Amino acid sequence: MTAPITLRPGLTAWRNAVFAIFFLSGLSLASWVARLPEVRDETGLSTQGVGLVILSGSIASVLGLIAAPPLMARFGARAGMAGALIAVSIGLVLIGVGGSLLPSIPLIAIGLAFAGFGNGAVDVMMNVEGAEAEREIGRTLMPLMHAFFSFGTVAGAGVAAAAAALDIAVVLHLGVVAAAIAIGAVIAVRFVPKRAELGDPASADGRADAASARPWAERFRDGLRVWGDVRLLLIGVIMLGMSFAEGSANDWLTLAAVDGHGFDPAVGAAIFTVFAVSMTTARVLGGPLVDRFGRVLTLRVLAATGVVGLSLFIFGSEVWMIVLGTVLWGIGASMGFPVGMSAAADVPDRTQAAARVSAVAIIGYCAFLVGPPFIGFLGEQFGLLNALLVILLLMIMAGLAAPAARERSRMPGATGGESSGAPGAPGTGSPDAAPSGSAAPAADA
């Protein structure tokens, strides 16, 4: 006789734990970025020097993305997420020490490498875990999970602004934030169930099972096979286009408004705020729309919205056109990444689901990291507004690839039992209810 690992309270705790991990990741990123001007002044770095130091974090982030699947296969999602955020905490402490207490550019670079690697790794792991929690709950939650990352960045920026206004040393501010992140991560993962398909070494009752008994290297090699799935690669195209649109906006929208449209810096900052608010709001409200209309229609409408918004922003000559374009750009780019995660996880084999989410997460986050420098290179050659035309093309490609994200319950030949547990299907359960029709993990009673 078997009993489900996650009963009603467990589902809620699991969901909230994933929300917390997303929040902590966003908090860590905004905390050091917001104190960057003081770190620059304390160390005497030039603008180019700041770029080179940040590059160490970017390279480490890519390495973290690549390392996440084998780390998860070896240590499991719970230990992996906690370890990655502890690495981020160590990085924040080193940045604080090197940026104020003992000014040192190499120490800052090492700190950024720790923080970048940890954030890159946890980005993949928390999306894998989030997709599993969403599937068991039976409702589309990934957009809201990504909204919690945004909430974390807002909180981090706000605390950093207060710390700067109160003249609190960078090392003290980042040290406190680092401690909060490490403690929060260790507490949060305790509410994440152990699941062999995500690499955890034992079942809920503490006994090893067949899936976890397989050598981790064998499980990792099995995960690599998903890269041959054409449908998964098309989901990756969706992730690529939407992530490129979001990441490029984060780095270049303000400058495009100032240099391309001639606004002053204050207006440029306000326009970026409009983008951030639009994207976050769409993620908070978007889950029920996906459940109501399905992934394919939602992604097509979002892609079309983003194309219209980008066109207004690039070619618009009036302030209202540019502001409206920014709003539509933010909405259009808001849910491609989280909805793509849900689509990648929508397969019967849960071991393969984890590997598939890892694969598309790597595609999406690489777009975040590679996209902005590429836009900068094109902008230097052709102007920033013209460089944004690349995003327009990628969003069109994302819309064309949308059918790859179709729910299994809506595919030809799907059985009725598959429909009730898939996010995006009508009639799914609530976050506090046991999943209906999903393949709930079981332990020997």
pLDDT digits (tens, 9 = 90+) for 206-220: 444 444 455 666 666
Helix (H, G, I), strand (E, B) or coil at 102: coil
Residue 172: band (very low, low, confident or very high) from pLDDT cuts 50, 70, 90: very high
Sign of CA dihedral 207, 73, 144, 396: negative
* Measured distance CA(99)–CA(349) in Å, rounded: 47
73: pLDDT strictly greater than 50: yes
Nearest 5°: the CA angle 156, 157, 162 is 100
* Measured distance CA(66)–CA(51) in Å, rounded: 23
Stretch 46-74: mean pLDDT: 80
Asked if residue 90 lies in contact with residue 179, where contact means CB atoms within 8 angstroms, the answer is: no
Q: Could you say which DSSP state residue 424 is in? A: T
298: pLDDT strictly greater than 80: yes
Question: Residue 432: phi, psi to the nearest 5?
Answer: -100, 5
Each residue's pLDDT tens digit, 373-404:
777 778 778 887 888 898 899 999 999 999 99
Structure tokens at 104: 């040192």
User: Which of the residue ranges 1-10, 303-312, 362-371, 418-427 would you say has the lowest mean pLDDT?
Assistant: 418-427
167-181, 259-273, 333-347: which is most confident: 167-181
What's the pLDDT score for residue 81?
95
SS3 content of the chain, % helix, strand, coil (to 5): 80, 0, 20
Instruction: Please compute Rg for the chain using Cα positions.
Output: 22
* Measured distance CA(411)–CA(346) in Å, rounded: 12
What's the pLDDT score for residue 5?
44
Question: Residue 9: phi, psi to the nearest 5?
Answer: -65, -35
CA 103 to chain CA centroid, Å, is: 32
Nearest 5°: the CA angle 110, 116, 122 is 140
Asked if residue 390 lies in contact with residue 378, where contact means CB atoms within 8 angstroms, the answer is: yes
* Measured distance CA(270)–CA(266) in Å, rounded: 6
CB atoms within 10 A of CB 299: 28
Asked if residue 139 lies in contact with residue 13, where contact means CB atoms within 8 angstroms, the answer is: no
Q: Percent of the chain beyond pLDDT 90? A: 27
What's the pLDDT score for residue 7?
45
List where CATH 1.20.1250.20 sits in the chain.
1-213, 228-408
pTM of the predicted structure, to 2 decimals: 0.74
Distances (CA, A) of 77 to 83, 133, 134, 143: 10, 12, 15, 20
Asked if residue 32 lies in contact with residue 108, where contact means CB atoms within 8 angstroms, the answer is: no
State the CATH architecture for 228-408: Up-down Bundle (1.20)
Structure tokens at 161: 């602004």
Structure tokens at 330: 């933010």
Distances (CA, A) of 161 to 205, 267, 365, 416: 46, 19, 27, 53
One of 3.40.50.2000, 3.40.190.10, 3.30.70.20, 1.20.1250.20 is the CATH number of 1-213, namely 1.20.1250.20
CA 164 to chain CA centroid, Å, is: 27
Helix H or strand E segment including 443: strand 442-444
Residue 421: band (very low, low, confident or very high) from pLDDT cuts 50, 70, 90: very low
What's the pLDDT score for residue 65?
82
124: pLDDT strictly greater than 90: no
Helix (H, G, I), strand (E, B) or coil at 437: coil
Sign of CA dihedral 393, 399, 405, 411: negative
What's the pLDDT score for residue 62?
81
What's the pLDDT score for residue 198?
60
Arithmetic mean of pLDDT over the chain? 80
Structure tokens at 430: 């609530």
